[in-house]
Amino acid sequence: MRWSAEMDFMKIRSYIINQIASHGGVPVKFPSSRKLAQKFGTSQPTALRTIRDLIADGYLVPCKNGGTISCPQASSGTHEYSLFGTVTVLGKQAFINNYFMRYESVVGLDLLNRDETYSIVPLKLESPSLLEQTVKDNNLKGLILYDAAPIILKQAEQLHAKGFPVVSVIRRSEFLSSAYTQDDIFFREVIQHLHKEGRQKILLTVHTNPLRSALLHKAVADACRENGIRESDLTLVNESEPPETFASLLKQTSFDAVIFYPFNRLLYNMLADSTDLKNQCRIVIQSESNHRELNFSGLVITNHLNQAVSLLNDNLLLQCEDPKAPIVQIRIPYTLAEYENGQRISTTKERTGK
- Are the C-beta atoms of 111 and 313 separated by less than 8 Å? yes
Query: Does pLDDT of 77 surpass 70?
Result: no
Q: How far apart are CA 138 and CA 98, in angstroms?
A: 27
Query: Does pLDDT of 325 surpass 90?
Result: yes
For 152-187, the pLDDT digits (tens) are 999 999 999 999 999 999 999 999 999 999 888 888
Q: How far apart are CA 331 and CA 349, in angstroms?
A: 15
Q: What is the pLDDT of residue 80?
A: 58
Q: Is 178 helix (H, G, I), strand (E, B) or coil?
A: strand
> Where residue 350 falls among pLDDT bands split at 50, 70, 90?
low
Q: What is the pLDDT of residue 29?
A: 92
Cα 120 to Cα 95, 116, 280, 310, distances in angstroms: 17, 11, 46, 16
Q: What is the pLDDT of residue 2?
A: 41
Q: How far apart are CA 342 and CA 320, in angstroms?
A: 43
Query: Does pLDDT of 353 surpass 60?
Result: no
Q: Looking only at Cα atoms, what is the longest distance across the chain? A: 80
User: Which among 232, 197, 236, 201 has a CA at the least distance from the CA of 216?
Assistant: 236
The pTM is what? 0.75
Q: What is the pLDDT of residue 4?
A: 58
Greater confidence, 176 or 149? 176
Please give the average per-residue pLDDT across 124-143, as a whole number: 89
Q: Which residues contact 91 (CB under 8 A, 6 or more apart)?
A: 123, 124, 125, 128, 131, 152
Report the chain's mean pLDDT, rounded to a whole number.
86
Phi, psi of 125 (to 5 degrees): -105, 125
User: What's CA 143's distance to the chain center, in Å?
Assistant: 13
> Cis before residue 262, ω within 30 degrees of 0?
yes
- Are the C-beta atoms of 99 and 61 separated by less than 8 Å? no
Cβ atoms within 10 Å, residue 349 = 8
Q: What is the signed CA dihedral for 67, 71, 72, 76, rounded to 10 degrees?
A: -120
Please give the average per-residue pLDDT across 326-336, as a whole number: 95
